[in-house]
Structure 1
């Protein structure tokens, strides 16, 4: 059976893995057959509210099997799911609901207060969805139809809705399940929000393999560790702040035995080499996958575990069925060692930004070297600067829109951040420029020390003077105990900079 849509995926797993657990939370399990039935009930409830193919349905729900029922129920009707993270504030939620043109919002009682003043109808997720009449008819849906809008947090301005097709979601699920080697025996711990492309991909990749998604009930590091052990978790995906919290007290992550943990993966930013080493020493049988991706194309690159020592600091090479190009400002391929923009080509390239033709035209562009006579193909210009070595392995340099000049020399903040973290004194760093009284850029470094009580900025200043050239020297350090986070758990760089400027 060919799998072209989310409905195809759930129907196939319901047939082949009917009574296997699809989702677990706090000891409660829902089988694949049970999840399909829940999706049918959700589709019937949505249809009763007038939802039809192409309508946007905003899902303002915590991670749960019920939320997945609404997601797959929307897909059954050909509607477009807009997954909204419940940690967002009222203004952000209101923007997403209005901008997406949602016909309906599905929300639980706790989240409904975020919709105060909204004119969009709200359907209670606690309402009885049982109809007894079976699922409503499903319209003709193909892989190129929209399945979801994923709103990016963005570095500036209001979030943009990335248009994701059924084909995008299934291609991402297949590719990631393949290179992680997922099977029916895998039990994936879901910590990342499903409004984050990596979090949703983690769920669908597990379903592609017929495994089980275990929903974490807490983001508190000691509780995560208890779940890893008690639920016999085989895979865990995270972002750098999560890994930093897991290797620090009071987390027991580095001290406990986790014999079932087959792999861990990182996305959403570079992981410190010392953090990788700590995880490897504590769990030598656990494979570490370092990944890079962007919402507009899900995953782009990955570094296989056995290559971490050979290519330290690399974000790896293109994921399967994908081409990654490094292009200069003229659109020509860069030479090894030359910094250029990462450009992604492949089946996970999404369909653009919802109701934003200008941004779509800027980011989604025609392939720079099309085959004559072939169907036009679009690629994603990431806005990220990278370089490739002579073996074709890629290294992240920084955001193009965060570059600045110091003493006349172009600087990428990530270069300085990497050097600061290499000092061993910090767990996080955010570097940016601000204009001095003469209009010249000066470098500001916001830092989170490993040991707050004993940290002194003089130590860090001495280290930077010895290890960084003059044009990369921070003029000022700002010390924080923690950084604000985006809804996906990544460091909220825009907020850090705004608070200090």
Structure 2
């Protein structure tokens, strides 16, 4: 039988039909109900004319209904294309057109945001194109026993996750059913996720880390408790009330959870059920580790690292966090992470090379982009007939095979759990009528991973009023892409006779200026 999430759900629903699978506010759903309603969703999509392999966008609030939409698409052997609701219209349009999306499932709150795209893809709200009666359709009463309704194999396409690319537009990473299933197995293995776990889910289901919480829940038969992080007290109260045992986070969440200005008294809550906290999307600072251990002294803390092209690369076991705090860890199970030089040979310890990964989580390449696929997904003489991911990330290993991250070769900015293309930021900055040129880059900020910074020049030679300029940028960029730092320059240096901006020199000058600027009082 193929390794797939629908197969795992069928097995768990048969074994634990009455166990609660997901909790969302005052609503919950059992594994038996989850299976039946996912199948009902698949039938609805098929009866609307969607075919195996069709791409289906999902642009919804994080609720049980979003999970049902995701699972319904997978059960129909169609392809999930998550769309972050706060993306701006040009990028949504690009995702729709690039994926060849047959339909987009949305909810009532987001219908207005995506209604402009009705001319290029079908919009489905709830289970119908005009209704929003998701839980109550007659289809849901057709099933008395869970069963698989559409055939699929593990190598079938399951999802396309779009992340920003150096070209300035998001590029889609093509993921198979086997990738999703084996990713769930691997993460559950090294985290030790169990049937009696209750996972506190603050993460979005619009990227691989967030969706993996659904897959782990289905695979292990545990319970997923959905939560939107607004105020730390609300999160901590939920964790205590729901007896949360597992907490996936990112550094930006940890910063919010332990915001010193809010003076939250974590000692007022009972976190005794919590077994582990896991984090990815950036390095954990000493303060973050101290805060987590202070609030959750009995919990193990896992630091993880990966790229969407292969989901997860490494993890640092909790007992190594104190002795190797700068490391991103060792290879995850059933995968091999190598540090290779430009000739494809292994680098000796402490010599920087490229992170190259092979194994179960390596995805299928970039959708509709053979040129970039050929650059990143390549073969190696040591592993004939196998495709590896050449990440572009610069890393080194020590004598004990612990990996240390150095830099991203493509200058992508990783902030608040998102990968941001400098080109996308620059395109929006130069839309301002007074801006002549712009260069965006990353500035280290351990609270969020990296800050987005942008240097710019103007027609008048004078800096723009920062508050007004930032408000202008908010009209064209999602909040995580709006530069935290804006630096005006009289002019930019160019490279030789090519007339190209000397981006390296511009960034260096900007960093020197920032270093010389005293912190705000």
TM-score interval, normalised by the smaller of the two chains: 0.7 to 0.9
Q: Is residue 2:309 matched to residue 1:309? A: no
Equivalent residue number for residue 38 of structure 1: 37
Equivalent residue number for residue 346 of structure 1: 359
Larger CA deviation: 40-49 vs 335-344:
40-49
- How far apart are 1:155 and its partner, in Å? 5.9
Match of 1:272 among 267, 280, 285: 285
Larger CA deviation: 64-73 vs 285-294:
64-73
Equivalent residue number for residue 252 of structure 1: 264
Match of 1:364 among 377, 401, 406: 377
Q: How does 1:319-468 map to 2 (within 5 A)?
A: 319-371=332-384, 376-402=385-411, 417=444, 430=451, 437-439=492-494, 440-443=505-508
Contact preservation (8 Å) 1:221, 1:251:
no
What's the CA shift string for 1:72-106, capped at 9, x where partnerless? 21122211111212222333222222221111111
Distance in 1, matches of 2:247 and 2:510, equals 31
Equivalent residue number for residue 453 of structure 1: none
Contact preservation (8 Å) 2:492, 2:506:
no
Match of 2:331 among 318, 326, 329: 318
Distance in 2, matches of 1:204 and 1:274, equals 31
Larger CA deviation: 164-173 vs 362-371:
362-371
TM-aligned CA distance change 1:380 to 1:252, over 3 Å? same
Q: How does 1:176-215 map to 2 (within 5 A)?
A: 176-215=187-226
Larger CA deviation: 120-129 vs 355-364:
120-129
Question: What SS does the corresponding residue of 1:381 show, helix, strand or coil?
Answer: strand
- How far apart are 1:112 and its partner, in Å? 1.3
- How far apart are 1:208 and its partner, in Å? 1.2
Larger CA deviation: 351-360 vs 146-155:
146-155
Gaps of 5+ in 2: 127-131, 413-440, 456-488, 495-504
Equivalent residue number for residue 64 of structure 1: 63
Equivalent residue number for residue 171 of structure 1: 182
Question: What SS does the corresponding residue of 2:138 show, helix, strand or coil?
Answer: coil
Distance in 2, matches of 1:178 and 1:45, equals 35
Distance in 2, matches of 1:116 and 1:224, equals 33
Distance in 1, matches of 2:286 and 2:348, equals 26
Contact preservation (8 Å) 1:151, 1:162:
yes
Contact preservation (8 Å) 2:199, 2:223:
yes
Question: What SS does the corresponding residue of 1:384 show, helix, strand or coil?
Answer: strand
TM-aligned CA distance change 1:433 to 1:30, over 3 Å? closer
Q: TM-score, normalised by structure 1?
A: 0.81
- How far apart are 1:264 and its partner, in Å? 0.7
TM-aligned CA distance change 1:251 to 1:112, over 3 Å? farther
Q: TM-score, normalised by structure 2?
A: 0.78
Q: Is residue 2:28 matched to residue 1:29? A: yes
Match of 2:245 among 234, 239, 242: 234
Contact preservation (8 Å) 1:442, 1:475:
no
Q: How does 1:140-179 map to 2 (within 5 A)?
A: 140-154=151-165, 157-179=168-190
Contact preservation (8 Å) 2:166, 2:410:
no
TM-aligned CA distance change 1:309 to 1:28, over 3 Å? same
Equivalent residue number for residue 122 of structure 1: 123
Contact preservation (8 Å) 2:281, 2:449:
no
Distance in 1, matches of 2:215 and 2:265, equals 26
Gaps of 5+ in 1: 404-412, 447-471, 482-501
Distance in 1, matches of 2:333 and 2:265, equals 31
TM-aligned CA distance change 1:182 to 1:111, over 3 Å? same
Distance in 2, matches of 1:172 and 1:396, equals 22
Question: What SS does the corresponding residue of 1:337 show, helix, strand or coil?
Answer: coil
Alpha-carbon RMSD: 2.7
TM-aligned CA distance change 1:240 to 1:81, over 3 Å? same
- How far apart are 1:139 and its partner, in Å? 3.6
